[in-house]
């Protein structure tokens, strides 16, 4: 069986480190199984633009990270439900 390829796309290193990484790993293993390929990469400029909200004085980061699964046919599927669980369950 093929190992799921998961891509954690992060806004910035600073925003990535606000995520509870223990909770993230636990949820990834529970969701995709014990053998996964995990890739970390920063957001592209387009992704960053969509993740931010700007006003005249400050920029708000609305989306700190994205969880995407790279399917065998090359399509990327975003797992917003899993992103929400990581934030919610990772709060201390």
Domain of 66, in residue numbers: 5-89
Provide the domain count of the chain: 1
Over range 42-60, report the average pLDDT. 93
pLDDT at 1: 61
Region label for 11, one of left (φ > 0), alpha (ψ between -120 and 50) or beta (otherwise)? alpha
- pLDDT higher than threshold 90 for residue 90: no
Instruction: Quick: pLDDT tens for 12-32.
Output: 999 999 999 999 999 999 999
Give the whole-number percent of the chain exceeding pLDDT 90: 85
């Amino acid at each position: 069986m093929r190992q799921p390829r998961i891509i954690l796309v992060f806004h910035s290193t600073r925003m990535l480190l606000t995520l509870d990484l223990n909770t993230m790993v636990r949820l990834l293993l529970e969701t995709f199984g014990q053998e996964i390929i995990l890739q970390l990469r920063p957001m592209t400029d387009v992704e960053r633009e969509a993740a931010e909200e700007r006003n005249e004085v400050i920029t708000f980061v609305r989306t700190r990270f994205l969880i995407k699964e790279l399917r065998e046919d090359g399509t990327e599927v975003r797992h917003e439900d899993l992103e929400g669980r990581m934030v919610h369950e990772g709060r201390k």
